[in-house]
Each structure stands twice: as structure tokens, then as C-alpha cells.
């Protein structure tokens, strides 16, 4: 029996498992998907939890319910990925060898990478990129009756780059609904040169910020957070004060990939941006937020990458040339 192993049962991994199960004969290929837990969060919904628009029931489901029959779902922490031995080590379920490996281990926020941020987290600094953070932010917003709300992106790249601006717009709506918008100042502090990454979008979104009375502070490279003084400081010494800080901390790929020696220092796995394969590994593919590909980190990108992988992996199995090429599209 040949073995296809998939690391990560989030958006990318689940899509790939279900796609490949349709193609591969069950008598010939075993498919195993490994993840650390059985929780599948609808991440686009995180943004709406702090405002009471989305509930836990709506966005939190189990991974297992989306994995088709005929796929082995293993719940265990990953310990090591060994491309030379073609072997995956897990914390509680032993080792798994593979003939083909698909990796979709994503990325996550790391407040501890910014001086003072982790120490202040949950006090006057909040986030919305993890479900528990969303719930804490919802409570804090409900108790916020006036002052300065700062939305800050620590550095790029981040998951869903437009989400922080969406958060600022939703905050504007939220405070209007509560009748306290005139008591709240909203400032969007970003390392980008403007509201967004692209000129046309920046122009439109800057105008939208003006209409909503949201101040934009560009070119701000976050150096540290002082929770006592309620101040964020950039590397060049510029300070922005806040009463509540909504922070988007640095995003990192999986620590296991760093420890396995297959990722860059940020935890992102270097791959060819067209084929999504690591150098000299003809039976390994990587998709989703965990690659170093210069495209948006979003489920829509993973979806189109999955189409490329599906075609090329089947060509690889059949001994044919692999023609499909990823172009990084999200739409």
C-alpha cells in the first residue's frame, strides 16, 4: 500500500485530502491527515466575534466532519519532519512514513516576538487572530466607553492583510451603534506606506477612512509596547498612545518546521513559487499560509493552490510531466 500523508487539517490540508481521495484507488493508496487537534475554526469569522455578529456555534466546528470517509485522521502534535527519511514523527501516535507528502501547517500570531506585547496581552492589548482572543476582545469592547482605540499591524506578512482595516471599520460601526462614536478616537497604525498594499486600493480605502474619521499613521515599524504608559513605540522612536490597543502581532509559520530544519527563521517553508515544491524534493508539496510564497495568506489562495497541487500530484503519480503553475491568485 502506498502512503500519502498530509500535515495540517485546516483549510488547505482538508481540501487536499478530499481532492486526492477522489482520485486515488483505496486499495492502492492510504491517505493520512495529521493535526494537533480536532477544532476547525472558520477564520474569516474571527473578525466578527468581537462585535457579536458571529458566535462560537457558527464558526467553530470539528475537523473530522469535513474529512471524507476513506481518510485516516490522526490527532497528535507533530514532533519532526524528515524529508530525507520520508518520515513524520508525532508526539503520541508514533512515526508515519510516506511516498507523497503534502504540508499545510499554516501560520499563527506570536505576541512574544515584540518587546512588552505578550506581558500586556489581555490587559489593555487585545487581538482577534485566535478564537480565545476574539472572546476576550468582545468583553473588552463592551466595557470600552470612550478614549483612543489603536489598531496596529506589527509587521508584514500577516494573514488576510485587509482584515485590520475591516476591524477599524467595524469598530467605527460598533461605536456608532452604541451612540458613543463621538467619544472614541480610532487610529490605524501600519508599517505599510498607506492604508493598504496596492495604490488604487489605498486611494479608495484612505478616502473611506477619512469619511469614517479614522486616522492613518503609515510607515510605523513596531519596536515595543509599553502597557504601563499605554504607548506603542516604533524603531525610529515615534510613539503613539492608546487607551485600547488591538494588535496584529508578527505571524510565524510552524515552530516544528523550524526545529526540523526545513523552514526559514520565520517558520515559512521555502518553495518554488510556481510549483509549490521545496528544492530537490519531488514528492513533497506545500500550500497555504505556511509557505514563503509572496502572495496573500488567505484560504482563497490555498484553494487555488490546491487545484495546482491536485493536477501536478496526479501527473507525478502517473509518471507524466507536471504542467500546472501557481500564480498566487486569491480571486
Q: Which residues would be at the binding site for other proteins (CB under 8 A)? A: 11, 14-19, 22, 42, 44-45, 58, 61, 66, 68, 169, 173, 204-205, 207-208, 274, 299, 303-304, 306-307, 310, 323-325, 327, 329-331
Shortest distance, position 4 Cβ to other proteins, whole Å: 14
Q: Which is nearer to other proteins, 44 or 218 (CB)?
A: 44
- Between 228 and 307, whose beta carbon lies closer to other proteins? 307
Identify the CA nearest to 267 among candidates 289, 234, 248.
289
User: Which residue lies nearer to other proteins by CB, 93 or 212?
Assistant: 212
Decide whether 66 or 83 has the Cβ nearer to other proteins: 66
The CB-of-180 to other proteins minimum distance in angstroms stands at 18
Instruction: Kindly give the pairing relationship between strand 251-253 and strand 147-153.
Output: unpaired
Work out how close the CB of 306 gets to other proteins at its nearest, in angstroms, rounded to a whole number: 7
Evaluated on CA atoms 71, 130, 80, 260, the torsion sign reads positive
Q: Among residues 262 and 306, whose Cβ is nearest to other proteins?
A: 306
Closest distance of CB 112 from other proteins, Å: 30
Is residue 283 classed exposed, middle or buried when 0-12, 13-18 and 19+ CB atoms within 10 A define those classes?
Answer: middle
Q: How far is CA 196 from CA 156, 162, 190, 257, in A?
A: 11, 7, 9, 30
CA R_g for the chain? 21
Q: What angle do CA 297, 253, 309 make, to 5 degrees?
A: 60
Amino acid at each position: 500500500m502506498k502512503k500519502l500523508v498530509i500535515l495540517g487539517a485546516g483549510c488547505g490540508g482538508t481540501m487536499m485530502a478530499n481532492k486526492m481521495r477522489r482520485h486515488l484507488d483505496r486499495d492502492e493508496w492510504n491517505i493520512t491527515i495529521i493535526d494537533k487537534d480536532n477544532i476547525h475554526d472558520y477564520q474569516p469569522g474571527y473578525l466578527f466575534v468581537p462585535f457579536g455578529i458571529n458566535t462560537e456555534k457558527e464558526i467553530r466546528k470539528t475537523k473530522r466532519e469535513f474529512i471524507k470517509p476513506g481518510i485516516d485522521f490522526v490527532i497528535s502534535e507533530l514532533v519532526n519532519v524528515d524529508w530525507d527519511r520520508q518520515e513524520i514523527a508525532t508526539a503520541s501516535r508514533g512515526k508515519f512514513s510516506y511516498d507523497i507528502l503534502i504540508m499545510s501547517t499554516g501560520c499563527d500570531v506570536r505576541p512574544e516576538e515584540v518587546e512588552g506585547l505578550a506581558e500586556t496581552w489581555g490587559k489593555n492589548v487585545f487581538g482577534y487572530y485566535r478564537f480565545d482572543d476574539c472572546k476576550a476582545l468582545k468583553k473588552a469592547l463592551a466595557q470600552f466607553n470612550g478614549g483612543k482605540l489603536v489598531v496596529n499591524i506589527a509587521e508584514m506578512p500577516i494573514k488576510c492583510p485587509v482584515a485590520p482595516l475591516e476591524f477599524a471599520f467595524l469598530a467605527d460601526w460598533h461605536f456608532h451603534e452604541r451612540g458613543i462614536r463621538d467619544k472614541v478616537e480610532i487610529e490605524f497604525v501600519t508599517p505599510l506606506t498607506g492604508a493598504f498594499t496596492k495604490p488604487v486600493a489605498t486611494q479608495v480605502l484612505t478616502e473611506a477612512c477619512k469619511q469614517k474619521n479614522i486616522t492613518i499613521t503609515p510607515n510605523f515599524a513596531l519596536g515595543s509596547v509599553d502597557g504601563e504608559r499605554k504607548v506603542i513605540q516604533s524603531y525610529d522612536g515615534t510613539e503613539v498612545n492608546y487607551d485600547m490597543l488591538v494588535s496584529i502581532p508578527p505571524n510565524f509559520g510552524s515552530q516544528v518546521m523550524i526545529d526540523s530544519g526545513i523552514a526559514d527563521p520565520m517558520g515559512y517553508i521555502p518553495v518554488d513559487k510556481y510549483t509549490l515544491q521545496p528544492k530537490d524534493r519531488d514528492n513533497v508539496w506545500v500550500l497555504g499560509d505556511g509557505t514563503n510564497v509572496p502572495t496573500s495568506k488567505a484560504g482563497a489562495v490555498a484553494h487555488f493552490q490546491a487545484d495546482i497541487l491536485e493536477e501536478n500530484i496526479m501527473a507525478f503519480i502517473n509518471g507524466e510531466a507536471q504542467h500546472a503553475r501557481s500564480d498566487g491568485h486569491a480571486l
